[in-house]
Amino acid sequence: MMAGFYVVISRSNLVKKVIGLNIFQISVFLLYITMGKVRGGTAPILPEDVKYYQNGQPIPPEGFDGWSNPLPSVLILTAIVVGVATTALALALIIRIREAYGTIEEDEILERDLET
73-92 mask for another protein (x: CB under 8 A)? --x--xx--x--xx--xx--
Alpha-carbon distance 54 to 68, whole Å? Answer: 21
15-54 mask for another protein (x: CB under 8 A)? --x---x--xx--x--xx--x-------------------
CB 32 within 8 A of CB 41: no
Alpha-carbon distance 85 to 103, whole Å? Answer: 23
Alpha-carbon distance 10 to 48, whole Å? Answer: 53
Residues that bind another protein (CB under 8 A): 1, 5, 8, 14, 17, 21, 24-25, 28, 31-32, 35, 72, 75, 78-79, 82, 85-86, 89-90, 93-94, 96-97, 100-101, 109, 113
